[in-house]
Amino acid sequence: MSYRWIISDIDGCLSPETSEAWNWEHFKQLAEFFHTRRKQGAYPVPLILCTGRPQPYVEVWAKIFDLHAPLVCENGAVIYTLEDNTSRFGPGVTPEKIQGLRNLRLYIEKELLPKQPEVVYQFGKEAQLSLFSKKPELFSKMVDAIHQFVKQQGGPELLIQPSHYYLNISLAGVNKGEAIKWILNTLGSHRNEAVGIGDTLGDLAIREQVHYFACPANAHKEIKEYADYVSPYPDILGVLDILHQPSFMSVWATD
């Protein structure tokens, strides 16, 4: 099987899930891996980032690794391309749904966060809301209140998912999978030409849109059950290991 694209989550894969400085030596190895391919004339770099992170964060990764394919931000709610420095809403996002999210954000900031000082709102997102806490067990106390508020205001329908330290509040029907399908179609590709890397059940959407899927060692047990390969190494070391597996090496063949 010949693959053209690698679709990877960031947190828990390319970088640690925890709020800590990156290991520079490991990060440098990853950057050199992509830049070496670029120098060999195999362009563009075949990495497509697929993350819940906001566009400004993804833009930095795109510039470091010279990524010119469309990239998935905010779990599919935003798609960014470095080449024209353009952000666009992902499939399924409408002005009405955006307004509903903005109303919900005001409610969370005014009513919920003052009662949970150990929970922090993540700035920078346009079509998704994310809360961070080192005590993710606190999120369960907020979810019922969020659902009740949305019901009272008449929508939009939401998908609320926890990850390691985040509570991601997304628009129902707006997800990584739909964004990946749009990107692969735009690139003239399909799932049989793509491989994926993920670490949580939120990355099941990546698994469903690629032919081959791998996880680092730190991945959640539930998503590992869907993997074709699980690295014995965590996060970025796991990704470096995955990229050197025979099933991934066909991506690096120069056209």
Q: Is the pLDDT of residue 165 over 90?
A: no
Alpha-carbon gap, residue 174 to 157, rounded angstroms: 10
Q: Could you tell me if 228 and 219 are in contact, meaning their C-beta atoms sit under 8 angstroms apart?
A: no
pLDDT for the residue 2: 66
Q: Is the pLDDT of residue 59 over 70?
A: yes
Q: Is the pLDDT of residue 247 over 90?
A: no
**CATH 1.10.3470 at 95-171, yes or no:** no
- Three-state DSSP at 160 gives strand
What's the mean pLDDT when you consider all of the chain? 91
Q: Could you tell me if 59 and 80 are in contact, meaning their C-beta atoms sit under 8 angstroms apart?
A: yes
**CATH 3.40.50.1000 at 5-91+175-252, yes or no:** yes
pLDDT for the residue 161: 82
| Strand pairing report for 120-121 and 158-162 | unpaired
Q: For 197, which DSSP code?
A: E
5-91+175-252 and 95-171 agree in CATH topology: no
pLDDT for the residue 179: 96
pLDDT for the residue 42: 59
Q: Is the pLDDT of residue 252 over 60?
A: no
- Residue 13 binned pLDDT confidence (cut-offs 50, 70, 90): very high
Q: Is the pLDDT of residue 147 over 90?
A: yes
Alpha-carbon gap, residue 255 to 238, rounded angstroms: 27
Of 196, 163, 164, the closest CA to residue 8 belongs to: 196
- Three-state DSSP at 200 gives coil
| Chain centroid offset of residue 76 CA | 8
Q: Nearest 10 degrees: CA dihedral of 172, 176, 182, 187?
A: 170
Q: Is the pLDDT of residue 254 over 50?
A: no
5-9, 25-29, 160-164, 214-218: least confidently modelled range: 160-164
The mean per-residue pLDDT over the stretch 22-35 comes to: 89
Q: Could you tell me if 124 and 132 are in contact, meaning their C-beta atoms sit under 8 angstroms apart?
A: no
Q: Where in the chain are the domains?
A: 5-91+175-252, 95-171
Alpha-carbon gap, residue 28 to 158, rounded angstroms: 38
25-39, 51-65, 140-154: least confidently modelled range: 25-39
pLDDT for the residue 230: 97
DSSP string, 94-115: -HHHHHHHHHHHHHIIIIIGGG
pLDDT for the residue 251: 64
